[in-house]
Amino acid sequence: MSPSDEPILTATGLHKTYRASRSLGSRARVSAVDGVDLTLAAGETLGVVGESGCGKSTLARLLVGLERPDRGEVRFAGRGLGRARGAEARALRRRVQMVFQDPLTSLNPRLPVLDLVAEPLDVHRLARGAARRDRVAELLELVGLAPEMMNRYPHEFSGGQRQRIGIARALATEPSVIVCDEPVSALDVSVQAQVVNLLAGLQRELGIALVFIAHDLAVVRHVSHRVAVMYLGRLAEVGDVSTVYDAPAHPYTRALLSAVPIRHPRERDPDREVLGGDPPSPVTPPAGCRFHTRCPLAREVCGAETPVLRELGDGRVAACHFAETALSRA
């Protein structure tokens, strides 16, 4: 199914901060997500990439309603997830589900697969008795597992099989959107492709939209229609995956792509960007552009004025004062 132009999920001005550890001071706050705007079309896969600690997982939890934003709003099919109450809230939550990073910790080890996969059915009162068991069998077959496995426990499965169980659980309520938070990072490389291909196949078959959060840039390019690049809680660049990968408009995107391992030293790019230093502390982020302390294009304006996401005329936006210069170097 090709993605629709109509957004099914919209995030507007999302902000989320947390209290830092006491060692950093009683009033210290960590800005995990700082003013993020995103849209997701029906049937689309939006990849989200960035270094560890950039706010990807917090964004995932905000999108599915596991966390409430300090400011901003998430809307599904035009209706606000945070404002809904009662039956409306339950109906909306059915439509946006999540697959977690580590299936070993996201599956209750005390429950058999039958009860793990059926938990959303129980919460939303969608099936009981024989219908409940039949639905679980159907979901297991959908993700490539035998229905006879429903009486086993999580420890009896491999990592890839456990993630398939997590995907089956996410599909139980027939969602329109699934947010996948690093769904393959805890798996062996040999199993990752199987899970990625499973998600792609389910999307084609069921027409679901995916938010695919990962640090593996090659996987994101393979599965995504568009990609959003995050740095220190903010979006650096958003656009069609081929456009962003082939000609990055933000210096951070270029550096991130340059860091992808190569197969042979002879393939090394002489123009490869190598970043110096570590990312700044999210407790005390730099003024202006948060990337300017590591950016090869930084000028005085970068430390004084915060760049906004702006259209570049090629179907993407970038938050860089010198995006045109970055494009000329791509």
User: In the chain, how many domains are there?
Assistant: 1
- Does the residue 5 lie in any domain? no
- Does the residue 238 lie in any domain? no
Query: Residue 329 belongs to what domain range?
Result: 245-330
Contact 49, 230 (CB under 8 A): yes
Q: What is the DSSP code (8-state) at residue 308? A: P
Give 185's contacts (C-beta < 8 A, 6+ positions apart).
101, 214, 215, 216
The label of the residue with tokens 């999540």 reads: 98
Six-digit token pair at 279?
């990312």
The reported pLDDT for the residue numbered 60 is: 96
Six-digit token pair at 166?
């997590």
Question: What gap in Å lies between CA 307 and CA 236, rounded to an integer?
Answer: 9
- Does the residue 38 lie in any domain? no
- Does the residue 265 lie in any domain? yes
- Does the residue 268 lie in any domain? yes
- Does the residue 154 lie in any domain? no
The reported pLDDT for the residue numbered 244 is: 95
- Does the residue 65 lie in any domain? no
Which pLDDT tens digits describe the chain residue by residue (330 residues)? Answer: 456 567 999 999 999 999 876 655 557 788 899 999 999 999 999 999 998 889 999 999 999 999 999 999 999 988 888 777 777 778 888 999 999 988 888 999 999 999 999 999 999 999 999 999 999 999 999 999 999 999 999 999 999 999 999 999 999 999 999 999 999 988 888 899 999 999 999 999 999 999 999 988 989 999 999 999 999 999 999 999 999 999 999 999 999 998 776 665 565 555 666 666 677 888 888 999 999 999 989 999 999 999 999 999 888 999 999 998 888 776
Question: What gap in Å lies between CA 169 and CA 214, rounded to an integer?
Answer: 20
User: For the whole model, what pTM was predicted?
Assistant: 0.91
- Does the residue 307 lie in any domain? yes
The reported pLDDT for the residue numbered 272 is: 63
Return the closest-CA partner of residue 224 out of 233, 232, 213, 215: 213
The reported pLDDT for the residue numbered 19 is: 84
